[in-house]
Amino acid sequence: MVDVAKRAGVSRATASLVIRDAPGPSAASRERVRAAAAELGYRPDVAAQALRRRQSRLLGVMFSAHDPFHADLIESIYAATEDAGYNVVLSAVVPSRDEHRAFDALTASRCAAVILLGASEAGATDFGSQLPVVEIGRPPKGTQFDAVHTADDEGARLAVDHLVSLGHRDIVHIDGGDRPGAAERRAGYLEAMRSHGLEQQARVLPGDYTEQSGSAAARTLVDSGELPTAVVAGNDQCAVGVLDELRRSGVDVPGQVSIVGYDDSRLARLAHVDLTTVRQDAEQLVRLAVTSVVERLDGGRELDPEPRVFSLSPHLVVRGSTAPARLTRTAG
């Protein structure tokens, strides 16, 4: 900062005001300081600024490195946090790095608050005691922090209703295990099947939102010798696993089996996937989450013990992986 001030011919205080975009300096002084900063390659020390303010203006984001929908959420998070005057610190959950290590890394980075993307139910209950937390993706259970989620039971019903409207009756659901929204999606599927008088045909296969679980479930269906006419997958990744395994087995999608995913992630929009899916509004989910946590930090809600919960309605996006049901159900 001293070097910038000398180069611009102003005081250090004036240079600091310009760098912080604070009122006071003239237009000419601002131009000189910015030019000097550019020439010297000066960048503000974010850590030092945080120590002076006693708040970092950093929002941590804990996410799964293997979830394409989290990539969509993160893209929206950058835009929303920048508008709110915060920067983002990312911490990934991978097989060799569990949720607690990922969360601890964010607290060690002096994040003012944390946004959880798809935390496990067991892990989520442990977070939130150290700093403000908001979760995207799961209705709160046993937690005392804010949450933003999609009405996943409603989304599963949309998927089943769409397939029934195409004449499908033998519709299988591949579960998401203990992942966020899985219980609600499973309940929505079962309720929709009952509402159409198809409770006897309802089948739920195990899964965990991964492509591998979708492939394994599809292999089970193919090996059984009798395919359903449609599959509602727990999410888009799982649906892609189903799609790939069925095509490798010579099964026509959607001619013999229709597939519906969930999320409308960038994966679903790939031309060779062309997946019918239930859309979650990533931009709206993020906007509500960032607004919620910023209000706790800057708007006087930091001591409010009552968590706020926002639930958004999903929408069905019809693409090329669904078609009217055919009579034959045998594996190809």
Dihedral sign for Cα atoms in the order 245, 247, 250, 255: positive
Least confident of 20-24, 41-45, 93-97, 278-282: 41-45
Q: Is residue 329 part of a domain?
A: no
Q: Is residue 227 part of a domain?
A: yes
The domain that holds 86 is classified in CATH as: 3.40.50.2300
Q: Is residue 260 part of a domain?
A: yes
Q: Is residue 326 part of a domain?
A: no
- Structural domains counted in the chain: 3
Do both 103 and 194 map to the same domain?
no
186 vs 235: CA distance, rounded Å: 12
The residues that bridge with 332 in the sheet, in sequence order, are none
Between residues 71 and 304, which one has the greater pLDDT? 71
What mean pLDDT comes out for the span 194-218?
A: 96
Predicted pLDDT at 330:
44
Do both 163 and 227 map to the same domain?
yes
What count of other Cβ atoms lies within 10 Å of the Cβ of residue 183? Answer: 19
Q: Are 85 and 57 in contact (CB under 8 A)?
A: yes
Whether the pLDDT of residue 98 is over 60: the answer is: yes
Predicted pLDDT at 101:
92
Q: Are 211 and 238 in contact (CB under 8 A)?
A: yes
* Nearest residue to 155 via CA among 129, 183, 115, 128: 183
* Strongest mean pLDDT among 16-20, 21-25, 251-255: 251-255
Q: Is residue 136 part of a domain?
A: yes
What is the strand order of the sheet 315-317 is part of? Answer: 203-205, 171-174, 230-233, 258-263, 276-279, 315-317
85 vs 87: CA distance, rounded Å: 7
Quick one: 191 exposed, middle or buried, by C-beta within 10 A (0-12, 13-18, 19+)? middle
pLDDT tens-digit map of 19-77? 877 888 898 988 998 898 888 888 766 555 544 544 568 999 999 998 999 999 999 99
Dihedral sign for Cα atoms in the order 307, 53, 103, 77: positive
Q: Is residue 14 part of a domain?
A: yes
Do both 264 and 286 map to the same domain?
no
Structure tokens at 201: 């045909």
Q: Is residue 324 part of a domain?
A: no
pLDDT band at 331 (very low <50, low <70, confident <90, very high): very low
234 vs 211: CA distance, rounded Å: 10
Do both 104 and 245 map to the same domain?
no
Do both 19 and 80 map to the same domain?
no
Predicted pLDDT at 212:
97
Amino acid at the residue 188 = G
**Whole-model pTM above 0.85?**
no
Whether the pLDDT of residue 305 is over 70: the answer is: no
- pLDDT more than 70, % of the chain: 89
Do both 143 and 292 map to the same domain?
yes
Q: Is residue 331 part of a domain?
A: no
The residue segments making up the domain with residue 66 are 54-151+281-313
What mean pLDDT comes out for the span 182-205?
A: 97
Do both 228 and 251 map to the same domain?
yes
Do both 95 and 144 map to the same domain?
yes
Q: Are 226 and 330 in contact (CB under 8 A)?
A: yes
What mean pLDDT comes out for the span 152-167?
A: 98
Do both 58 and 207 map to the same domain?
no
Least confident of 79-83, 145-149, 184-188, 305-309: 305-309
Give the 3-state secondary structure of residue 62: strand
Do both 143 and 221 map to the same domain?
no
Cβ neighbors of 107 (< 8 A, separation 6 or more) are 60, 114, 130, 131
Do both 185 and 285 map to the same domain?
no
pLDDT tens-digit map of 141-153? 766 789 999 999 9
Do both 69 and 133 map to the same domain?
yes
Whether the pLDDT of residue 300 is over 70: the answer is: no
Placement of tokens 């920067």 in the chain: 87
